[in-house]
A and B are shown apart, each in its own frame.
Chain A
Amino acid sequence: MAFSFELLLEAILFGVLLGCFYAAVSIGLSVSFGLLDVPHVAHPAIMVLGSYCTYLLNRYGLDPIVAGIALMPLFFILGVAIYRFYYETFEKRGSEAGVRGLAFFFGLAFIIEVGLILVFGVDQRMVEAAYIGRSLALGEFRIPWRMVVAFGVALVLTAALTIYLSRTFTGRAIKAVAQDEPALRLMGANPVRIKQWAFGIATGVTALAGAMLIVVGPVEPSLDRVYIGRTFAVVVLAGLGSMTGTLAAGLILGISESIVLMQFGASWAPAVAFGLLLVVLGIRPQGLFGR
């Protein structure tokens, strides 16, 4: 395909929107895996669960993003319960917890997927909102409103989490538990309770990510499999636990995918994006924003 400056500009614009969406669906994992070191492979499945809950609330007329926000406290409680169960049955028992924990979260992902199939069937589900199916006209460009909404929510989510983790007492405690758990214990704090709280926040945020997922496109119970690679790639590329890094990594993946799609073909997009991940990790093993 011949080079076109206009198409390149548009590819970058769509890449930014897509990248913000990638960041938004990865940010919960950035807390649970990046900060807490929990091998949370069920993260995309919980996100899909959030999408289905959003779908249910949307059927009663609630806006999907409002539904996602309304679901956050429920998902927070769900996250606390999941972490407590994981801690009691796996993490407490020693050094092999990581591998066995991986099996636990894979199991959880399958249970969620099968549960969704039993309740909703295998058909795709979508939501309705004023901003879905319409586009914003900027001169020659037409940008889907649903992507603009995802972009906005991603920015707000990243800013909120960054401020929470750096400015609040519990936020700093979460960062402390990620950096030096024994030191925190020596200071009299209970790292398990802090991790439990942090995992709750990660899961709560995932509910909103699920709402965005169903805003951006239709969902079906096995959709988590599509996102498992992408979300982990974003978190690892960012440098484990960095919120602004997650946004930057999402943007890098989104923009590179979009440009490669435009210039070389869509089939190359994932290969180039993940190739980029390997190159970055080769130069900076701790990720772009990791310490």
Chain B
Amino acid sequence: MKIGKWLAVAFGLLFSAAALAQQPIKIGIGIAQTGTLGGGGKAALLALQMWVEDVNAKGGLLGRKVELLAYDDQSNPATTPGIYTKLLDVDKVDLLIAPYGTVPTAPIMPLVKQRGLLLMGNFSFQVNHTVKHDMWFNNAPWGDATSWTEGFLQVGQKIGAKTIAFIAADQEFAQNLANGAKEIAKRSGLKTVYEQNYPPTTVDFSSMIRAIRAAKPDMVFVCSYPNDSVAIVRAVNEIGVGPTVKLFGGGMVGLQFTPVMESLGSSLNGIVNYNSYVPGIKYPGIEDFLQRYAKKAVEAKVDPLGFYLPPFNYAIGQILEQAITTTKSLDQKVLARFLHSHEINTIVGPISWGPDGERAKPAVPMIQFRNVADKNVEQFRQAGKQVILHPPQFKSGDPVVPYEKARGGN
């Protein structure tokens, strides 16, 4: 009888262990599929799904399949605390990936810090600056405001710029970036001649562009979200920013998205703006990824080129994969310790993090659009349509100035 009891317990343990082994590792994310960040979010989610397919084809992680649970945050920061609470308490996910972008990520930072959870950042900017969560790891190629803006300001100063104008959206990301850029500009001896914040519901930017023209700056640093970026480019092409402006751009989100680039076409010429990856940068494995992505993107009706977010989202998967397989653990503290102490090889190059969870070695390409034609999406696959001005390791050319000349205006 006694032996029978022990056998029953042993079988029970065996079965429950087997059942656990068959349960998938759940990874949760709230990511914009609609709203202003939806275009980027859809492409990013496709890349994450590609990683899940790839890792499951290799047998999963720790002998378990990987399952991705994704909810649409509608580009709305008000939705993300609810989504992440559901992911944790109802869906019982094992790991979390942050929403795409600074604004939707900011509200969940206190939640993950309180619960002591690992959070893989997803292209947000300085969102951990005040929270100081030590289990945060951003996939973005930037660190603080210096890493983002120094390229633009350095290029400008090299060509003799002494004054600068700022326009920035009244949003967490844009304000963080603009404030950082203003400080750096001040330290660099640049004089600010115009600054304007605008609400996200702004319909037309003609008045702002006219005011910039009147202020006669040498550089214009713009911190905008996708819808605003398009409206600003359009207004600039109609009104012109004046002959004094040497560089225009800097922090315009949206000009990296293929549908926006295709629609704006030649209006993009001359703009100097940040990017994450452009053709010409050599990372091992990225070309294979982009070829596979391009096929899936057509079916999924998302960004057909996928240079901006998708490789970096695939990299999130690679980072988690290497941390889990090396440590053989899903313990969030163990994984965080590993990531703080190791450099991870990804399709967007090797990534390591500083104590704040941002890139230890930032690499933000500052590019200038050149010779872009209208209605031609394929042109962007060639190197040279986005000439890399900074950083030196990626540099492929010098800026064409002033901006009005570079854009072919008057």
Contacts and interface: CB of A to CB of B under 8 A. Distances in A.
B204 A217 contact: yes
Interface in A16-39: 18, 21
A121 B199 contact: no
Interface residues of B, number: 44
Contact of B259 (A1, A124, A230): A124
A135 B204 CA distance: 14
Interface residues of A, number: 45
Nearest to A4: B214
Nearest to A266: B198
B231 interface: yes
A229 B34 CA distance: 20
Given A135-B238, A144-B235, A226-B201, A10 B207 contact: yes
A121 B36 contact: no
B240 A266 contact: no
Contact of A218 (B38, B196, B231, B239): B231
Contact of A133 (B35, B197, B202, B237): B237
Given A142-B239, A220-B227, A123 B197 contact: no
Nearest to B32: A122
A126 B260 CA distance: 9
Interface in B167-226: 170, 194, 196-199, 201-204, 206-208, 210-211, 214, 226
B346 interface: no
B238 to A, nearest CB: 4
A103 B206 CA distance: 37
A133 B238 contact: yes
A261 B203 contact: no
Interface in A215-248: 216-218, 220-223, 226, 229-230
Given A124-B260, A217-B230, A222 B207 contact: no
Interface string A115-134: 00100011111100000111
A220 B194 CA distance: 30
B325 to A, nearest CB: 35
Contacts of B302: 121
A148 to B, nearest CB: 11
Interface string B34-57: 111011011000000000000000
Interface of B: 33-36, 38-39, 41-42, 74-75, 170, 194, 196-199, 201-204, 206-208, 210-211, 214, 226-227, 230-231, 234-235, 237-240, 257, 259-260, 263, 267, 301-303
20 contacts: A10-B207, A14-B204, A14-B210, A117-B33, A117-B34, A117-B38, A121-B301, A123-B257, A123-B259, A124-B260, A126-B263, A142-B240, A146-B238, A220-B36, A220-B39, A222-B75, A265-B197, A266-B197, A266-B202, A267-B197
